[in-house]
Structure 1
Amino acid sequence: MSKRIQANDVDVYYGTFKAVEGVNIEIAPRTVTAFIGPSGCGKTTFLRSINRMHEVLPGAHVEGELLLDGENIYASNVDPVRVRSQIGMVFQRPNPFPTMSIRDNVLAGYKLNGTRLNKARADEIVEKSLRGANLWNEVKDRLDKPGSGLSGGQQQRLCIARSIAVEPNVILMDEPCSALDPISTLAVEDLINELKEEYTVIIVTHNMQQAARVADKTAFFNIQGVGEPGKLIEFDETNTIFNNPSNQQTEDYVSGRFG
Structure 2
Amino acid sequence: MSKSIDVTDLNVWYSEFLAVGGVSMHIEPRSVTAFIGPSGCGKSTFLRTLNRMHEVIPGARVGGEVLLDGDDLYGPGVDPVAVRRQIGMVFQRPNPFPTMSIRDNVLAGVKLNNRRIARSDADDLVERSLRGANLWNEVKDRLGKPGAGLSGGQQQRLCIARAIAVSPQVLLMDEPCSALDPISTYAIEELIAKLKTEYTIVIVTHNMQQASRVSDKTAFFNIAGTGKPGTLIEYGETATMFTTPREQATEDYVSGRFG
Structure 1 and Structure 2 fold alike (TM over 0.5): yes
- For 1:129 and 1:138, the matched residues in 2 are separated by 13
| Residue 191 (structure 1) shift | 0.1
1:2 corresponds to 2:35: no
Note the 1:37-186 alignment, pairs <5 A.
Answer: 37-186=37-186
| Residue 114 (structure 1) shift | 1.2
Q: Any idea what the Cα deviations from partners look like across 1:41-76, whole Å, max 9, x if unmatched? A: 000000001000000011101100000001110112
* 1:193 aligned partner, one-letter code: A
Name the count of aligned residue pairs: 259
Q: Any idea what the Cα deviations from partners look like across 1:111-151, whole Å, max 9, x if unmatched? A: 11111111011001000000000000000000000000000
Q: Any idea what the Cα deviations from partners look like across 1:57-102, whole Å, max 9, x if unmatched? A: 1110110000000111011211000000000000000000000000
Q: Any idea what the Cα deviations from partners look like across 1:14-62, whole Å, max 9, x if unmatched? A: 1111100000100000000000000000000000010000000111011
- For 2:5 and 2:104, the matched residues in 1 are separated by 31
Q: Any idea what the Cα deviations from partners look like across 1:174-215, whole Å, max 9, x if unmatched? A: 000000000000000000000000000000000000000000
- For 2:246 and 2:72, the matched residues in 1 are separated by 30
SS at structure 1 position matched to 2:2: coil
Aligned position for 1:253: 253
- RMSD (Å) for aligned C-alpha atoms: 0.4
Aligned position for 2:227: 227
| Residue 218 (structure 1) shift | 0.3
* 2:147 aligned partner, one-letter code: G
Unaligned segments of structure 1, at least 5 residues = none
- For 2:12 and 2:150, the matched residues in 1 are separated by 36
> TM (normalized to structure 1)?
0.99
* 1:152 aligned partner, one-letter code: G
* 2:66 aligned partner, one-letter code: L
* 1:49 aligned partner, one-letter code: T
Aligned position for 1:238: 238
The structure 1 segments of at least 4 consecutive aligned residues displaced by more than 3 Å after TM superposition are none
- For 1:63 and 1:57, the matched residues in 2 are separated by 16
Identity of aligned residues (%): 73
SS at structure 2 position matched to 1:100: coil
